[in-house]
Structure 1
Amino acid sequence: MKFGLKRQAITLILVSSLYGVSAVASTVPGMGIESIRFINSVKNQLEIIMPKDKYVLDPNSPLYKPIMENVIRTSYLADALSTIDYSNSKELEMFKSDYTDFSNEWFDKKWEPIIAQGKPIDFYDIAMDMIEFDKAIAAEFQSFGYVNTGTQWIFHKNGINEIFSSELKQNAIKQQSIWEQDEYESFIESSGPGLTGIKVKSSPGTKLVNNKVWFLNQQIDSIKYAINIQSLQNPFVNKNLSIDEVTDYVTIDDLYHPNFTRGIIMAQVSFIFMISAALITPTGLGIGIWKYKKYEKLNSEESVGE
């Protein structure tokens, strides 16, 4: 009986501990995991479109500042504004001004000091920074859960309310929906690329994959435009760049298709799992420790008796 008590105690302690650890570990997946997969697929395309050290702006070129201040600055803004559904007056009013301010502040903080110092600027570095910009926009204006782990989301302010929010679920469905690319782009009204950059006048908003395909292809066209300027000099450090070297356009099949609703369901289930662990684990540990102490007491009494 004594040794059976010991086995029960150790089993309860181990099972309760594992249950608690598993509950915490289960909270890691969420919408953020889907975003990471999508972002990695975008990074893979960017490494093909503008490999590091290939398209580097020459600070001695007269186009250096105009490209940064006009083309690149407006690219950040176009990236943000193109995610707004212009047919939704409420959404347009809610985000257009904030996105504009956020984009300009981000650009000023990141690139103005570098421009002032007249340093060469690699388009690859701009592309990688735009990914961080997209993540910041999502966290600031959409949901913290889009770009963070489920664990971080649960413990973030209003995180639990968001996890069980029907409004967020509808937003997630919109974000993950995918149209035929031609159909999606038929609803976008924009100008550029050119020396004044890309300017979005209307957009159907974020169907995330469609929107990113459109934007990546705009960047490809911007590179072609910069190389092909006839009346002005090539603005890149490498003066031998050719349009023939520019990669083909991106398609929806080139990017990961995120399933944010699956991420929400996983976060909901793991939260319930964690709550159950908060009750079961301490109870199991308590009983296990009590049984082990009882075993030690019996063992001590037998030793004294001998």
Structure 2
Amino acid sequence: MKLGLKKQGITIIVLSSLYGVAAVASTIPGVGFESIQFINSVKKQLKIIMPKDKYLLDPKSPLYEPIMDNVIRTSYLADAISTIDSYNAAEKDKYTPLYTEFTNDWYHNRWQSLIEQKQQIDFYDIAMDMIEFDQAIATEFQSYGYVHTGTQWIFHKNGVKEMFSKDLKQNAIKQQSIWDQDEYEDKLVSTGPGLTGIKVKESAGTKLVNNKVWFLNKQIDSIKYAINIQTLQNPFVNKNLSADDVADYVTIDDLYHPNFTRGLTMAQATFIVMMTAFVITPTGIGFGVWQIKKAKKLKDEESTGE
């Protein structure tokens, strides 16, 4: 019996520990997992649209600073402003100044020193930085959970409260909704591309896939515009680039369609599982230790009796 008790104790300790590890591990995916898959699909398209070392902005070109200060800076701002539902006055008034300030700070911190040093700037690097910019916007103004693991979200300030909020669920539904692309773009009024960049006047806000398709295709148009400027030589290091070298337009089928509500449901469920582990795991380990001690006590008693 004493051997049986010891084995039972060890088994209970191992199973309880495994349950605790599994419970914590199950919280990893969440909403952030959906975002990661979407971001990876965007990166795949960007590698086609702006391959590394293909579109290198020539610091000797007279268009170098105008493109960076006007076209690229306004692209960051258009990327941010286009996610605001301008048909919702409260949302527009709240987020437009916040996004504008955030964008200007981000752009200055990332590119100003390189511009002053007259370094070649790769459009691929700009594209990858814009992904980080999007993630920072989401973290700062929407939800930490969109771009972090479920586990990080749980232990983030107000993470659990946010995870179970009705507002976040409504936002998730809005973000993952996909419209017909033409219908979406009919409601997105913008100017450009041109030497003053892209400027958004009206937008239906983020239907994430629709919005990113629009933005990627605007970048394609911007590259074509830069190559085809008639009055000046194209601003890239490779002067032999032509519009025929530019990638085809992106469609909604080229991007992953995130299901944030599924990720949110998973995050909520795994959080509950993790909470049960906080009770079951230490209780199980404690009981297992008690079983092992009981087995040792019985063994000692038998030894003494002999």
Note whether the superposition's TM-score is higher than 0.5: yes
Q: Which residue in the other structure is 2:66 paired with? A: 66
In the TM superposition, what whole-angstrom CA distance separates every residue of 1:223-282 from its partner, at most 9, and x where no partner exists?
Answer: 000000111111000000011011100000000000000111111011100111111111
Q: Percent identity, aligned pairs only? A: 73
- 1:15 and 2:15 aligned: yes
d(CA) in 2 for partners of 1:195 and 1:266?
A: 46
User: What secondary structure is seen at the aligned counterpart in 1 of 2:249?
Assistant: coil
Q: Distance in 2 between matches of 1:60 and 1:2?
A: 84
Could you tell me which runs of 5 or more consecutive residues in structure 1 were left unpaired when the two chains were aligned: none
Cα distance in 1 for partners of 2:296, 2:262 equals 48
1:5-44 correspondence runs (5 A): 5-44=5-44
Whole-angstrom distance in 2 between the partners of 1:199 and 1:213: 16
The residue type equivalent to 2:181 in the other structure is Q
The 5 A counterparts of 1:59-98 are 59-98=59-98
TM-score by length of 1: 0.99
- Residue 141 of structure 1 corresponds to 141
For residue 7 of structure 1, report the CA deviation from its aligned partner.
2.1
Residue correspondence of structure 1 range 94-133 to structure 2 within 5 A: 94-133=94-133
* Cα distance in structure 2, aligned partners of 1:45 and 1:273: 37
Q: Counterpart of 2:42 in 1: which secondary structure?
A: helix
Deviation of 1:94 after TM superposition, in Å, equals 1.1
Partners of 2:303 and 2:55 lie apart in 1 by 80
Matched length: 306
The answer for the alignment partner of 2:203 in structure 1 is: 203
Alpha-carbon separation, structure 2, partners of 1:126 and 1:270: 37
Structure-2 separation of matches of 1:238 and 1:60: 12
Q: CA deviation at 1:147?
A: 0.2
Moved more, 295-304 or 56-65: 295-304
- Paired residue secondary structure (2:200): strand
Partners in 2 of 1:303 and 1:237 — Cα distance? 87
Letter of the 1:231 counterpart: T
Residues 226-265 of structure 1: matches in 2 within 5 Å?
226-265=226-265
**Secondary structure in 2 matching 1:257:** coil
Tell me which amino acid in the other structure corresponds to 2:132: E
Query: SS in structure 2 opposite 1:197?
Result: coil
In the alignment, residue 148 of structure 1 is paired with which amino acid? H
Q: Offset of 1:304 from its aligned partner?
A: 3.8
Q: CA deviation at 1:297?
A: 1.7
Partner Cα separation in structure 1 for residue 214 and residue 299 of structure 2:
74
SS in 1 for 2:220: helix
Map 1:150-229 to 2 at 5 A: 150-229=150-229
Per the TM alignment, residue 289 of structure 1 is displaced from its structure 2 partner at its CA by 0.2
Q: 1:270 maps to what in 2? A: 270
Query: After superposition, what is the alpha-carbon deviation per residue over 1:131-160, rounded to whole angstroms, capped at 9, x for unaligned?
Result: 000000000000000000000000101100
| Cα distance in structure 1, aligned partners of 2:112 and 2:301 | 78
1:302 CA displacement: 2.7
Shift of 1:14: 1.1
Gaps of 5+ in 2: none
Larger deviation: 289-298 or 197-206? 289-298
Distance 1:75 1:270 in 2: 39
User: What is the alpha-carbon distance in structure 2 between the residues aligned to residue 22 and residue 295 of structure 1?
Assistant: 29
AA aligned to 2:17 is S
CA displacement 1:183-216 (0-9 Å, x = unmatched): 1001010000000000000000000000000000
Superposition misfits of 4+ residues, deviation over 6 angstroms: none
